[in-house]
Amino acid sequence: MDLLLLEKSLLGLFLAIIVATMVSKLRGKKFKLPPGPIPVPIFGNWLQVGDDLNHRNLTAYAKKFGEIFLHRMGQRNLVVVSSPELAKEVLHTQGVEFGSRTRNVVFDIFTGKGQDMVFTVYGEHWRKMRRIMTVPFFTNKVVQQNRAGWEAEAAAVVDDVKKNPEAATSGIVLRRRLQLMMYNNMYRIMFDRRFESEDDPLFVKLKALNGERSRLAQSFEYNYGDFIPILRPFLRGYLQICKDVKTKRLQLFKDYFVDERKKVASTKSSSNNDGGLKCAMDHILEAQQKGEINEDNVLYIVENINVAAIETTLWSIEWGIAELVNHPEIRKKVREELDTVLGPGVQITEPDTHKLPYLQAVIKETLRLRMAIPLLVPHMNLHDAKLNGYDIPAESKILVNAWWLANNPAQWKKPEEFRPERFLEEEAKVEANGNDFRYLPFGVGRRSCPGIILALPILCITIGRLVQNFELLPPPGQAKLDTTEKGGQFSLHIMKHSTIVLKPRSF
């Protein structure tokens, strides 16, 4: 591996003499660029800062260079903003100018070069996709239509855990069962389908392909070819694997879900038993029939939901449970609130979540300290722009360090502590919807995550039911769960999927 890296480096250096002057002139071209480490020809700052541009590393650079700084990563400009004021400028005030998405060589494969909604550039296609996805997925009506299903899936988790004798003794990796729950939550909305068990062959295949997609997309292994185009031939094998996974995933989506839903819709139509749109895919297929989108767009919508809605919410549930296991005094307060407001043994439902301020504070605190997308999804300016008095060259990758905004001790009281009370006391007016630019777990503005309307009630229902029905404990001989973080290109999840002891409560 070291020899391969050396070969790539030598190839880059071979061309450095030819292009160094051009790169130097480009940097000096009338632009007043944000501060940052001095780049070298070809490689820019890549050799200095490395691949792992996670939220903590970028926070360290912000402390050195300021609230806005620039990394030149090979041929790519990476601009990082780390203050509420500049976050507001990027996401709101200049939301149009910075409203596009930068992709990379791998995300181009998985999104068909932006045929989806999440990674497409800002423009007519994005507006169309956002509109088509909003009605069947991201409205209060959708929540009310599907909340009983979410409550049923959470109840099924509780029942399955109670039936597993290991859960109350040595413990289980609860994430595995919660993953099935999240797939069922979203596939019920999308296709009016669910998987009966973790052993369902179709679920196993789907989960494996989605997991491989996430691993390939979030890895730092391909950065060298993305940053330095002349090294891209060395990525040929990696990119071929990505193409193969993409082909298999889209074919699975089409054969087992989209086409099956078309057959159901056709049967309903032929029998004149049209009771209205039953699931999100009916609405999306209707948009395709009208010529608003094509078949590829349909499949990329399914791709977005599989990645953006399922895994991110699952990560947040996992973080929340881990924090409650490690903070029994907080877990006790959540249970006391549930028992007092609802009554012992009365299971939480979606309408109840609005009557449980401490549980809501626990969810907010989880999203603050353990933000699933700590740098948000990267933004991009299609044209040269200005930010904080600096010139931002066209097609720069703009990262908002949302984790640091929510964990900066200059802005928050003891941010390193998991303390839900802050959202009932000094930060009582702060909400997860972006009403305060210090706290943006779902982003804000045109490119904010619309899934907030689904994620928050699912988080409350799931964590609430688990606290109501079980004592959540670390495994025998272990004082606390390991909450070491693992990051990707812009994700953050727990490194080790925790084994948790769940002892049923008696009411």
Banded pLDDT at 21 (limits 50, 70, 90): very low
What's the CATH code, domain 35-105+114-200+301-504?
Answer: 1.10.630.10
pLDDT at position 269: 61
Tell me what the pLDDT averaged over the chain comes to. Answer: 93
Handedness of CA 63, 375, 369, 364 (dihedral sign): positive
**279 φ/ψ sector (left φ>0, alpha ψ -120 to 50, else beta):** beta
Are 48 and 17 within 8 A, CB to CB?
Answer: no
pLDDT at 275 over 60: no
pLDDT at 273 over 90: no
Task: Report whether 184 contacts 468 (CB < 8 A).
Answer: no
Residues ≥6 apart with Cβ < 8 Å to 473? 171, 325, 500, 501, 502, 503
Give the pLDDT score at 22. Answer: 45
| Whether pLDDT at 278 is above 70 | yes
Q: Are 318 and 175 in contact (CB under 8 A)?
A: yes
Residue 232: is it exposed, middle or buried by C-beta count within 10 angstroms (0-12/13-18/19+)? middle
Average pLDDT of the residues in 79-107: 96
Give me the percent of the chain exceeding a pLDDT of 70.
Answer: 92
Segment 5-15 shows an average pLDDT of 50
Q: How crowded is residue 85: how many other Cβ atoms within 10 Å of its Cβ?
A: 11
- Per the annotation, where are the binding residues for heme? 449
Question: Residue 394: is its pLDDT beyond 80?
Answer: yes
pLDDT grade, residue 265 (50/70/90)? confident
| Cα–Cα distance measured from residue 333 to residue 138, given in angstroms and rounded to the nearest whole number | 31
Q: Where are the domains of the chain?
A: 35-105+114-200+301-504
Q: What are phi and psi of 276, to 5 degrees?
A: 100, 175
Residue 329's contacts (CB-CB under 8 Å, 6 or more residues apart) are: none
Spatial contact of 191 and 261, defined as CB atoms under 8 Å apart: yes
Structure tokens, 266: 């056709």
Dist. CA 463–CA 358, nearest whole Å: 12
Asked whether residue 10 carries a pLDDT value surpassing 60, the answer given is no
Q: Could you tell me which of 441, 368, 432 has the C-alpha nearest to residue 400?
A: 441
pLDDT of residue 309: 92
- Rounded CA-CA distance 187/253 in Å is 11
Burial class (CB within 10 angstroms; exposed 0-12, middle 13-18, buried 19+) of 465: buried
pLDDT band at 271 (very low <50, low <70, confident <90, very high): low
Using N-to-C axis directions, what is the helix angle for 295-304 and 280-289, rounded to 10°? 150
Residues 494 and 486: their CA atoms lie apart, in Å, by 6
Instruction: Report pLDDT for 267.
Output: 80
Instruction: Enter the tokens of residue 172.
Output: 């289980």
Listing DSSP states for 324-382 in one string gives: HHH-HHHHHHHHHHHHHHH-TT----GGGGGG-HHHHHHHHHHHHHT-SSTT-SPEE-S
pLDDT value for 270: 55
Residues 6+ apart with CB under 8 A from 430: 364, 423, 436, 438, 439
Q: Give yes or no for residue 494 having a pLDDT over 90.
A: yes
Instruction: Please state, in angstroms and rounded to a whole number, the distance separating the CA atoms of residues 331 and 468.
Output: 10
Contact 350, 493 (CB under 8 A): no
Chain segment 65-76, per-residue pLDDT in tens: 999 999 999 999
- Residue range 282-306: average pLDDT? 96
Tokens of 421: 């009370």
Instruction: Sort residue 503 into left (φ over 0), alpha (ψ -120 to 50) or beta.
Output: beta
pLDDT of residue 6 exceeding 50, the answer is no
As a whole number of angstroms, the distance between CA 310 and CA 281 comes to 16
**Range with the poorest average pLDDT among 137-141, 157-161, 239-243, 273-277:** 273-277
pLDDT at 30: 79
For residue 196, give the amino acid letter.
Answer: E
